[in-house]
Structure 1
């Protein structure tokens, strides 16, 4: 069974969850050590930004996936990072959630987007990410 560790949580909540409450189909990527992926998840207007990540180690080889969210404004207003670790023979699914983003610098506007970067340590990992 995959394990999730929170590596960094600066002004954002990072946690393991069991699924998503999103009603959408999400976006899919294959993330590898030689094929990192960077995306810009955006909140639905009128809702607080939440990013849920589902990752599956389809090949069952020992591997890790590191997912990082950062402030796209460049002001370093927030950052969060978690790592999913699979042992040899583990092809399980794990979930990470990033939520609780701070307000923007004007202190009245909710954060509507973030930069999401993902990279594995080995073979490709199948990733689907959702905004809630």
Structure 2
């Protein structure tokens, strides 16, 4: 079974979860040590008053020891938040694990919820299958 841990949390909550409450299809791709992924999740349009939540589902199908590092950062350049979490599988371990980033601070005006972030994903070994969702 994979281990999920928060390794950095600056004005954002990083935590393991068991799934997502998103109603969307999410974005899916493979991530590896030689194929890191960088993206910019945005909160669901038309949902006023809600801030950003990013749920990431990762599947290690090969059963090899591996670590996925997921990092979120402020896109405004002000450094208002950053967060990092890891999902670690031991040798012979496979399966699905989830990590969530939530509790983003409001934007610089003190009122507007954060609606986007920079997301970077990379593994220490073999490719894994990733799907991320926003709420």
- The bucket for the TM-score relative to the shorter chain is over 0.9
1:53 partner SS? strand
Equivalent position of 2:19 in the other structure: 19
Asked if residue 56 in structure 1 is aligned to residue 51 in structure 2, the reply is no
Gaps of 5+ in 1: none
For residues 58-77 of structure 1, what are the structure 2 equivalents within 5 Å? 58-77=61-80
TM-score (structure 2 length as normaliser): 0.96
Count of residue pairs the alignment pairs up? 132
1:108 partner SS? coil
The offset of 1:27, in angstroms, is: 0.5
Gaps of 5+ in 2: none
| In structure 2, distance between residues paired with 1:44 and 1:123 | 32
TM-score (structure 1 length as normaliser): 0.98
Equivalent position of 2:90 in the other structure: 87
Residue deviations 1:37-68, cap 9 Å, x none? 00100011323210000001111110000000
1:127 partner SS? strand
Runs of 4+ in 1 over 2 A off after TM superposition: none
Equivalent position of 2:117 in the other structure: 114
Residue deviations 1:72-114, cap 9 Å, x none? 1111100010000001111111000000000111111110100
